[in-house]
Structure 1
Amino acid sequence: MISKSTLGVCAGVAGAIFLGYCIYFDQKRRNDPNFKRKLRERRKKANKESKENQVPWPNMKDPDEVQKFFLYNIQNGEELLAQGDFETAIDHLSRAVAVCGQPQQLLQVLQQTLPPQVFQMLIHKLPSVGETIMREIGGIKVTEEDVE
């Protein structure tokens, strides 16, 4: 049998070795001449991707602009569904539901027309789109009642 003190010493030695490896690889990483350049490139790429993913939300006080946004997203969502690009289609359809005046009726229609797994993806996406639209324009929010 191994005593508690032996077990404690082994755990301490293992922790010290792990800490030593962490320090060694951190120093190696920091001393790499390309580290800062790679870090800047990674940050620039992430910033560019986040800007590309931003949606130009409509002015919610302008019904024509909201209607154009709604129709655009519904049409693109249907086209992308036909092409099999479900992720992007769900993005467009969730935006359309978010600006829709009667989201319950639209969700009922979508539930009848979409495959069940795609409709479930849409339901899971709606809360995050509601939060995004609240942050971006401070207008409406998709609630749990709207989803059900």
Structure 2
Amino acid sequence: MVSKSTIGVCAGVAGALFVGYCIYFDKKRRNDPDFKKRLREKRRKGRKGASSSANIKWPDLKDQEAVQKFFLTQVQLGEELLSTGEVESGVAHLSRAVAVCGQPQQLLQVLQQTLPPQVFQLLLAQLPAVGKSIMEAAGDSNEGAKITEDDLE
């Protein structure tokens, strides 16, 4: 049998090796002259892709499973972007989630309680444009599934 002290020593050594590995590669990454340049480019590409509403592939509003998947994805992306400080992109994703939500009033109440007032106002300002975008994408084929102005207010 292996004693508890042996297991503790092995765990300590493994932890120390992992921390050393992290420190070594972090130092190597930070000393790379192109690191900041690549990071800025990556962020620019992320902003361009996230903020462009023309590239949005809206789900078929008659397919509940697709709508639910789209909703959850947009909420998750919105939360992640807001937590990293990318407010405009995060709000864009959250507004898309509100647009396809089955009960937008309840979602807006939750968001009003959880988001800072400035961010929530930005979200409210984007909702009409997002609603218009989803209506255009849905076309006349989804007459019964369209979001009304009342849902967005």
Instruction: Name the TM-score class by shorter chain.
Output: 0.5 to 0.7
Rounded Cα–Cα distance in structure 1 between residues aligned with 2:52 and 2:77: 20
Give the residue type in structure 1 aligned to 2:151.
Answer: D
Structure 2: unaligned runs, 5 residues or longer: 1-48
Question: 1:52 offset after TM fit, Å?
Answer: 7.8
Deviation at 1:79, TM superposition (A): 0.5
Structure 2 Cα separation of the partners of residues 51 and 103 of structure 1: 23
1:48-59 equivalences in 2 (<5 Å) = 53-59=54-60
Code of the aligned partner of 2:134? I
The one-letter amino acid paired with 1:133 is: I
1:73, 1:92 within 8 Å by CA — same for their partners in 2? Answer: yes
Structure 2 distance, partners of 1:77, 1:132, is 18
Q: Which SS does the other structure have where 2:55 is aligned?
A: coil
Q: Residue 95 of structure 2 contacts residue 130 of structure 2 at CA under 8 Å; is this kept in 1?
A: yes
Equivalent runs, 1:88-103 vs 2, <5 Å: 88-103=89-104
Cα distance in 1, alignment partners of residues 53 and 93 from structure 2: 15
Alpha-carbon distance change, 76 to 116 in structure 1, aligned in 2, over 3 angstroms: same
1:87 is aligned to: 88
Would the aligned equivalents of 1:126 and 1:142 in 2 still touch at CA under 8 Å? Answer: no
Question: Which residue does the alignment assign to 2:108?
Answer: 107
Contact 2:131/2:147, CA 8 A, preserved across alignment: yes
Q: Deviations over 1:76-109 (max 9, x none)?
A: 0000010010000011000000000000000000
Conservation of the 8 A alpha-carbon contact between 1:70 and 1:96 = yes
Unaligned runs of 5+ in 1: 1-48
Q: Please, what is the CA RMSD of the aligned residues? A: 2.1
8 Å Cα contact 1:107/1:147 also seen in 2: no
**Structure number, greater radius of gyration:** 1
Q: Is the 8 A contact 1:94 1:122 kept in 2?
A: yes
Q: Distance in 1 between matches of 2:130 and 2:79?
A: 18
Instruction: Please name the residue that 1:146 is paired with.
Output: 151
Residue type at the aligned position of 1:79: E
The reply to whether residue 117 of structure 1 matches residue 122 of structure 2 is no
Q: Which protein, 1 or 2, shows the higher relative CO under an 8 Å CA cutoff with sep ≥ 6?
A: 2
Residue 113 of structure 1 aligns with an amino acid whose one-letter code is T
Please list every run of at least 4 consecutive aligned residues from structure 1 whose deviation after the TM superposition is greater than 6 angstroms. Answer: 49-52
